[in-house]
Amino acid sequence: MTPEPPADPPSPDQAVLTIDLDAIAANYRTLLQRLSPSCALGTVVKADAYGLGMARVAPALAAAGCKHFFVADLGEATALRRILANVEIFVFNGPVAPSVKEAAAAFDEYRLIPILNEPQQVEAWGDLARHQARREGRETALQVDTGMNRLGHSLSDFERLAAEAHRLESIRLCLLISHLACADLPEHPLNARQLADFKAALALTRRAPGSLANSSGIFLGPEYHFAMARAGAALYGINPVPGAPNPMRRVVRLESRILQLREIDSPMTVGYGATYRATGPRRIATIAVGYADGYLRSLSNEGSAFFANIRVPVVGRVSMDYITLDVSGIPAGHIRPGDRVELIGEHHGIDDLAEEAGTIAYEILTTLGSRYGRVYVGGSA
Ligand SMILES: *Cc1c(COP(=O)(O)O)cnc(C)c1O
């Protein structure tokens, strides 16, 4: 695996975000192995592939064999279509009011599959198909809400829809989806309730293919798999089974160089608000990463980084462009400006950083900053 040259080589003071496309492909294969041969693995590349860059990630997934992609909105879908000509693209939002008709034209032009979430969308979509006198109907997916209470037909709306056969006539139902609220909590009773409701909804469709599981849902067992799973997080290295060892490969590495070192002593403080007070001699390293880069401010006095194998805690507040690390544990002479510090990597993964920040790794990835030098390794470079 040789690093390819980035478009603009990172400048020495720039933090470098390395994204391993081979690890994403390996994670795709790992998830695929957990599914039966008749179950497809769709991949979710919304939000710029969870912050990692859809333009590079999606082709790597297609090269690994993925044929079904999911995005949230129309803009993401048209961008993806320009990247990949011959894959299925599902759009979670579907064509949205008040311009269902205009959106529908774009779905047509870019060969996108809308996921319709309410009866009005189904009606408008069906009307369009009838206007175009399409005998076979348009390929369409539907979402039924089984407990998220976020998007999708309510169970009663869905039952009504299924009972009125003419409503489904002008669309060709190619996938019925629902979304789990607690897939990362295997013991939660809502999982079994959502599974039962989804099965009941699916039974009303006369054998439409079903899709219920996200990344964590894949690990709930084969009864959650149906015809297609929809994985995002696990592909990008987020642990789909919190509390158990992460079965996925690490995808992201973030490292930066030390800008400056200083010695301080009690009663000096560090950073805005003087929230960290030295209780004795301390050596402080300043790193050019801050909340403007998505290094969340909640990591103030909570986050940590690694210098070689040694944990170095964030002291003081995270500011816009900088963090300060207590590197007192490293003997003088063994650390100097220009040395690299690992912020995310093998010693300190995205889930670890997320826990320190009081959030989830999904948020860590999707807020990764635009100032980082980005280096892609692996893939079909
Ligand atoms: C984001 C999303 C997914 C992917 O979930 P992960 O936990 O990232 O695997 C699947 N389905 C829907 C409806 C989503 O919104």
Percentage of residues in the chain with pLDDT exceeding 70? 96
**Which one of the listed residues 224, 236, 272, 276 is annotated catalytic?**
272
The pLDDT of residue 103 is: 85
Instruction: Render 298-339 in DSSP notation, one character per residue.
Output: GGTTT-EEEETTEEEEB-S---SS-EEEE-TTSPTTS--TT-
Tokens representing 134 are 């399409």
Model confidence at 186, pLDDT cuts 50, 70, 90, reads very high
Phi, psi of 85 (to 5 degrees): -80, -30
The pLDDT of residue 32 is: 98
Question: Is 101 an annotated catalytic residue?
Answer: no
DSSP conformational letter for 153: B
Separation of CA 92 and ligand 1 centre (Å): 10
Instruction: Render 170-225 in DSSP notation, one character per residue.
Output: TEEEEEEE---SSTT-TT-HHHHHHHHHHHHHHHTTSS--EE---HHHHTT-GGGT
Model confidence at 4, pLDDT cuts 50, 70, 90, reads low
Angle at 287 between CA 282 and CA 290, to 5 degrees: 120
Mutate to test the pocket of ligand 1, among 30, 214, 220, 365 (most ligand atoms within 8 A of CB): 214
Taking residues 101-122, what's their average pLDDT? 90
Higher-confidence position of 165 and 47: 47
Q: Lowest mean pLDDT: which of 51-65, 110-124, 306-320?
A: 110-124
Separation of CA 55 and ligand 1 centre (Å): 19
Residue nearest to atom 12 of ligand 1 (CA): 179
CA 230 – CA 252 distance, rounded (Å):
21
The pLDDT of residue 134 is: 62
The pLDDT of residue 11 is: 83
Taking residues 334-363, what's their average pLDDT? 97
Instruction: Render 95-119 in DSSP notation, one character per residue.
Output: S-TT-HHHHHHHHHHTT-EEEE-SH
| Closest ligand 1 atom to Cα of 215 | 9
Separation of CA 217 and ligand 1 centre (Å): 10
Model confidence at 6, pLDDT cuts 50, 70, 90, reads low
The pLDDT of residue 138 is: 78
Count of alpha carbons within 13 angstroms of residue 256, beta-carbon side: 25
| Closest ligand 1 atom to Cα of 177 | 13
Q: Which of 163, 103, 166, 160 is nearest to 130 (CA)?
A: 166
Residue type, 28: Y
Mutate to test the pocket of ligand 1, among 90, 142, 230 (most ligand atoms within 8 A of CB): 230
Percentage of residues in the chain with pLDDT exceeding 90? 83
**Which one of the listed residues 46, 291, 295, 376 is annotated catalytic?**
46
Task: Tell me: pLDDT of 329 over 90.
Answer: yes
Q: CB under 8 Å to 140, separation ≥6 — which residues? A: 113, 114, 116, 125, 171, 172, 173, 174
Q: Taking CB atoms and a 6 Å cutoff, what residues make up the pocket around ligand 1?
A: 44, 92, 179, 214-216, 230-233
Mutate to test the pocket of ligand 1, among 44, 66, 180, 241 (most ligand atoms within 8 A of CB): 44
The pLDDT of residue 133 is: 63
DSSP conformational letter for 242: T
Taking residues 64-77, what's their average pLDDT? 97
Rg (alpha carbons) of the chain, rounded to whole number: 24
Write the pLDDT tens digit of every residue in 241-292.
999 999 999 999 999 999 999 999 999 999 999 999 999 999 999 999 999 9
Mean pLDDT of the chain: 94
pTM: 0.95
Write the pLDDT tens digit of every residue in 205-252.
988 999 999 999 999 999 999 999 999 999 999 999 999 999 999 999
Model confidence at 1, pLDDT cuts 50, 70, 90, reads very low
Q: What is the SS3 assignment for 295?
A: coil
Taking residues 115-144, what's their average pLDDT? 83
